Amino acid sequence: MTNGNAAGTEGHLFVILGATGDLVGRKLLPSLNELIARDALGPNSLILGVGVETEFNDESFRARCCKDLANAGVPQEQIAKTVSDKRIIYQTIAKGTPEDYKKLAARVEQVEKENGLPGNRVFYLALPPKVFPLAIAGLGNAGLNKSKGWTRLVIEKPFGRDLASAQALNQVAHEHFEEKQIYRIDHYLGKETVQNLLVFRFANSLFEPQWNRDRIESVEITVAECLGVEHRAAYYEGAGALRDMIQNHLTQLLTLTAMEVPSAFQAEPIRHEKVKVLHSVLPIKSENVVLGQYSTGKIDGQEVAAYRDEPGVAKDSQTETFVAMRLEIENWRWHGVPFFLRTGKRLEQRMSQIVVNFRRPPVWIFKPFDGKPIDANALVIAIQPDEGFDLYFEIKAPGQGVQIERSDLHFRYSEKFKPLPDAYETLLLDVIHGDPTLFVSDSWVEASWQLYTPVLENKPKVLPYAAGSWGPAAADALLSDLGRTWTKIL
């Protein structure tokens, strides 16, 4: 969560393994370009793309980067600045043998010597998860885990498939890198509203005293997508929504929402409180989990195919594209307050939000005209597509008699701050500055997998739902004892 304008004049080498992959063209390169445009990387920093492709050299890789940046809508003059002066170079690791990694180490040292760099290095693994262990070992065995300056390893999600695989990956990472060198990235934590959760809670005496079981009835966390599986079937068939979204993105939002006040606004105290939340979650009951898979339907008035008809998906696939679940946090602050997590593809609208539902007044003195009880106050934290907050409360409508209507206090980041940085821009700059606050610790990732691995091992039946709906009807039953349904955009 750094806010400086420059990453220092001493410079660093930003090494991307998997440099010809989709993530680099869509996210990393445009974000690095924006940091370069703001002079946030420092004038002496270079980007070294690393891939198995042997047909690329420095010039052809720069040409590919120019094309990717143009596709991302970057103006030509800025592309020229980003790719000029040999700032971007390429090195193949061919088959990824120990000898290939030794050649990479030699190239790194050569580039640093030629450009007067002090040995500060970022190694970003933009790779398929199955090759994480090989890449980490390759870097470590080639001596790239140490340098005259600092060395940092960035690992993309998913970090493991279950508890055992996450523990094994942590073991490999710790054999070659110290934990303080490892940055497990979750781009959701780079969003301004997510970061602001801590400030919102702990810097405002209006809200923190209300943030407990006495005042809050329930909390809903939703991350909904209109898109289908798109071109990710090869990955998604082996993952599903629980691994792809619940274990990381939604659980990060859960821990930030439910954590206790940290002893300081620093990485380790914040990470410690987040892990404590996971250790307080009761084992998840199978009856509190609903899985779904989208069938045919309409999105924005257009017919879309069922998941099983998507390219690369098995015709009898039981992979879930929707998950809804109910969690209970058994600690002093949250005893008896249910937390509901929901995510899915091909849902009615794209949105990510946290809804804090406050308890209704204990005594209803205003006779309702329509026979309905008073609406409870609610705080809606919008994470996407329009980041901000809405606080809903009751007012008297003008006129005779007492007729109560709902109104809200409204805040949007885009209305006050322009432009907002992309989540990857924030996180990449934090890596360079050595700030691990918004990254996942080894204990957090293992605690999360410990919570969800039993669910993966005893999955309930996957239910169909129409594309363009809000998922299986059974998901509403999770909230039925509260007399409510899932909150949409209010």
> Do residues 7 and 41 make contact, with C-beta atoms less than 8 angstroms apart?
yes
Question: Same domain, yes or no, for 231 and 91?
Answer: no
The reported pTM is 0.90
Q: How many folded domains does the chain comprise? A: 2
- Burial of 72-101, coded b for 16+ CB within 10 Å and e otherwise, reads bebeeeebeebbeeebbbbbbbeebeeebb
Question: Same domain, yes or no, for 152 and 236?
Answer: no
SS3 state of residue 108: helix
Residue 448 lies in a domain: yes
Question: Same domain, yes or no, for 134 and 199?
Answer: no
- Tokens of residue 10, six digits: 């001493």
Question: Same domain, yes or no, for 152 and 193?
Answer: no
Question: Same domain, yes or no, for 138 and 219?
Answer: no
Residue 74 has a pLDDT of 87
Other CB atoms within 10 A of residue 279 CB: 13
Residue 488 lies in a domain: no
Question: Same domain, yes or no, for 318 and 197?
Answer: yes
Question: Same domain, yes or no, for 133 and 195?
Answer: no
Residue at which a domain ends, from 115, 138, 156: 156
Residue whose C-alpha is closest to residue 294's, from 220, 230, 243: 230
> Do residues 390 and 372 make contact, with C-beta atoms less than 8 angstroms apart?
no
Q: d(Cα 313, Cα 316) in Å, to the nearest integer?
A: 8
Non-local (6+) Cβ contacts of 84 within 8 A are none
Q: What is the DSSP string of 176-212?
A: HS-GGGEEE--GGGGSHHHHHHHHHHHS-TTTGGG-S
Question: Same domain, yes or no, for 228 and 280?
Answer: yes
Residue 8 has a pLDDT of 47
Q: HSE-up of 415 (CA within 13 Å, CB side)?
A: 7
Q: What is the DSSP string of 264-279?
A: SSSHHHHHHHHHHHHH
Residue 489 lies in a domain: no
Q: d(Cα 451, Cα 284) in Å, to the nearest integer?
A: 8
249 is catalytic: yes
Tokens 């939000």 correspond to 353
Q: Of the listed 12, 174, 249, 433, which one is catalytic?
A: 249
* Backbone phi, psi, residue 133, to 5°: -60, -40
Residue whose C-alpha is closest to residue 254's, from 316, 368, 176, 342: 342
Residue 489 has a pLDDT of 62
Question: Same domain, yes or no, for 206 and 95?
Answer: no
Residue 19 lies in a domain: yes
Distance, CA of 22 to chain centre: 17
Question: Same domain, yes or no, for 145 and 201?
Answer: no
Residue 8 lies in a domain: no
> Residue 264's domain spans which residues?
189-421+442-482
Residue 275: what residue type? V
Non-local (6+) Cβ contacts of 94 within 8 A are 52, 54, 100
Alpha helices in 267-386 (DSSP H): 267-280
Tokens 């790194």 correspond to 108
Distance, CA of 260 to chain centre: 21
Question: Same domain, yes or no, for 370 and 264?
Answer: yes
CATH code for the domain of 245: 3.30.360.10
Per-residue pLDDT of the chain (490 residues; tens, 9 = 90+): 554 444 445 789 999 999 988 888 888 999 998 888 888 887 788 999 999 988 889 899 999 999 999 988 888 888 888 887 678 999 999 889 999 999 999 999 999 999 999 999 999 999 988 999 999 999 999 999 999 999 999 998 889 999 999 999 999 999 999 999 999 988 777 777 777 888 888 988 988 899 999 999 999 999 999 999 888 888 899 899 999 999 999 999 999 999 999 998 888 999 999 999 999 999 999 999 999 999 999 998 899 999 999 999 999 999 999 999 999 999 999 999 999 999 999 999 999 999 999 998 877 776 655 556 678 899 999 888 888 899 998 887 787 667 788 888 999 888 888 777 788 888 999 999 999 988 999 999 999 999 999 999 999 999 999 999 999 999 999 999 988 889 876 5
Residue 322 lies in a domain: yes
Question: Same domain, yes or no, for 145 and 194?
Answer: no
Residue at which a domain ends, from 133, 156, 179: 156
Residue 4 has a pLDDT of 42
Q: HSE-up of 127 (CA within 13 Å, CB side)?
A: 24
CATH code for the domain of 123: 3.40.50.720
Residue 1 has a pLDDT of 58
> Do residues 62 and 83 make contact, with C-beta atoms less than 8 angstroms apart?
yes
Residue 434 lies in a domain: no
Residue whose C-alpha is closest to residue 51's, from 7, 21, 77: 21
Residue 427 lies in a domain: no
DSSP state for residue 285 in the 8-state scheme: P
